[in-house]
């Protein structure tokens, strides 16, 4: 199950570029492209190797696992562990030895060549660390979702897909309204979209450069302490939410979803009584994930007015105030009315 969601959008017409002559479905067309980009072992003199691996692990050789219009892929990697401190220490020893025997200490280009020779000597003996980044392509909603909170890792997955397919016009999410404003308004007491509830975690920042940062955890967010921070001008940059009592998560102003967790109400819908293999279990979990995220996606799209790559107009606003950043009222009676309205007084 994915724990983080870095989301990209692509034009709905992109699927038509996949090779229909070799595939009956988008997922099969994608698999045809990935076949030549399978992960190979890192070479003796290489630092890294990257390529696609079976998302189901050792239980399958398929590079794409699909359910309907959703395709699960995994980018694997092998990285040689060669700490710079080790290289630096061994290089100093070589330089000391040369200085002792020749009476001079190499510098400049000679030093650089010695370092390169040393790295070439150490690489074949270095430990190899495997890496993995999972993603799924949702052809129904023209999304690709990478299981990472790191933009660098997510961009690497997109880059490898683009190399494999030849063209992959995926773009990071673009909000037509300030996400920080939306999150701040929700925290201040504005009505949340249907199905969403506040969690117990948030991050608040003073908008001034170098301003204070406040992180709250395990806290009832609609409280006087939060009110004071908002009234002092701080804005919400991360906010914990739950959706339909099925999933909980933290969404940030960068529109990355972190700490995604499927709750008991969702997991209870699974029935593993008839599951007789690990593949079948993973299949059921993947299907659950697809269903829950497809329920959540329209709420995020509408609330943050996420633009569509192949549409002239952004998603319609959820409500008028979504584009405004919460500003504390100077009228104490008005603040008291807000607290009473939302049960915070």
Q: What SS3 class is residue 17?
A: helix
Residue 290 sits at φ, ψ, to 5 deg, of -60, -50
Residue 18: the pLDDT is 58
CB 201 within 8 A of CB 271: no
Distance CA 29, CA 18 (A): 5
Distance CA 341, CA 78 (A): 55
Q: In what order do the strands lie in the sheet with 196-205?
A: 213-217, 196-205, 235-243, 247-252, 257-262
Distance CA 289, CA 65 (A): 14
- Most confidently modeled range among 27-41, 77-91, 212-226, 241-255: 241-255
Angle at Cα 299 formed by Cα 7 and Cα 318, nearest 5°? Answer: 120
Residue 319: the pLDDT is 37
| 87 against 342, higher pLDDT | 87
**Both tokens assigned to 167:** 């063209």
Average predicted confidence (pLDDT) for the chain: 86
Read off the pLDDT of residues 263-286 as tens digits, 9 standing for 90 and up.
999 999 887 776 678 888 888 899
Read off the pLDDT of residues 163-204 as tens digits, 9 standing for 90 and up.
998 888 899 999 999 999 999 999 999 999 999 999 999 999
**Both tokens assigned to 130:** 């495997």
Percent of the chain topping pLDDT 70 = 86
Q: Which of 258, 210, 246, 249 is nearest to 5 (CA)?
A: 258
pLDDT at 23 exceeding the cut of 80 = no
Residue 128: the pLDDT is 94
Angle at Cα 53 formed by Cα 52 and Cα 58, nearest 5°? Answer: 175
What is the band of 332 on the pLDDT scale with cuts at 50, 70, 90?
very low
Domain limits of the chain?
A: 6-78+128-172, 84-124, 179-341
What is the band of 334 on the pLDDT scale with cuts at 50, 70, 90?
very low
Read off the pLDDT of residues 128-173 as tens digits, 9 standing for 90 and up.
999 999 999 998 899 999 999 999 999 999 999 999 988 888 999 9
Burial zone of 10 (CB within 10 Å; 0-12 exposed, 13-18 middle, 19+ buried): buried
Average pLDDT over residues 324-343: 42
- In this structure, what DSSP letter does residue 209 have? T
What does 71-86 look like in DSSP terms, one character per residue? EEEEEEEEEEE--HHH
Distance CA 44, CA 166 (A): 29
């Amino acid at each position: 199950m994915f724990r983080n969601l870095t989301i990209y959008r692509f034009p709905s017409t992109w699927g038509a570029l996949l090779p229909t002559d070799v595939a009956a479905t988008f997922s099969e067309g994608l698999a045809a492209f990935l076949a030549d980009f399978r992960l190979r072992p890192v070479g003796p003199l290489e630092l890294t190797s990257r390529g696609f691996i079976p998302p189901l692990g050792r239980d399958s050789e398929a590079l794409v696992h699909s359910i309907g219009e959703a395709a699960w892929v995994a980018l694997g990697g092998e990285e040689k562990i060669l700490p710079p401190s080790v290289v630096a220490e061994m290089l100093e020893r070589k330089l000391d030895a040369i200085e002792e025997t020749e009476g001079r200490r190499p510098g400049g280009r000679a030093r650089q060549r010695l370092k390169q020779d040393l790295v070439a000597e150490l690489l074949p003996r270095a430990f190899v660390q495997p890496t993995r980044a999972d993603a799924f392509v949702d052809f129904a909603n023209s999304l690709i979702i990478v299981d990472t909170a790191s933009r660098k890792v997510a961009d690497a997955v997109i880059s490898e897909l683009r190399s494999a397919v030849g063209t992959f016009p995926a773009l990071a999410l673009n909000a037509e309204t300030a996400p920080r404003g939306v999150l701040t308004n929700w925290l201040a007491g504005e009505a949340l979209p249907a199905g969403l509830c506040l969690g117990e975690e948030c991050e608040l920042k003073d908008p001034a450069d170098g301003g204070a940062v406040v992180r709250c955890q395990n806290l009832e967010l609609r409280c006087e302490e939060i009110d004071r921070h908002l009234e002092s001008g701080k804005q919400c940059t991360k906010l914990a939410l739950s959706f339909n009592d099925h999933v909980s998560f933290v969404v940030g102003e960068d529109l990355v979803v972190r700490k995604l967790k499927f709750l008991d109400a969702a997991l209870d819908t699974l029935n593993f009584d008839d599951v007789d293999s690990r593949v079948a279990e993973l299949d059921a979990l993947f299907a659950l994930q697809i269903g829950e995220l497809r329920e959540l996606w329209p709420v995020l799209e509408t609330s943050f007015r996420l633009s569509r790559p192949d549409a002239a107009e952004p998603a319609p606003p959820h409500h008028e105030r979504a584009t405004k950043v919460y500003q504390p009222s100077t009228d104490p009676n008005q603040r008291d009315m807000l607290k009473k309205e939302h049960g915070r007084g």
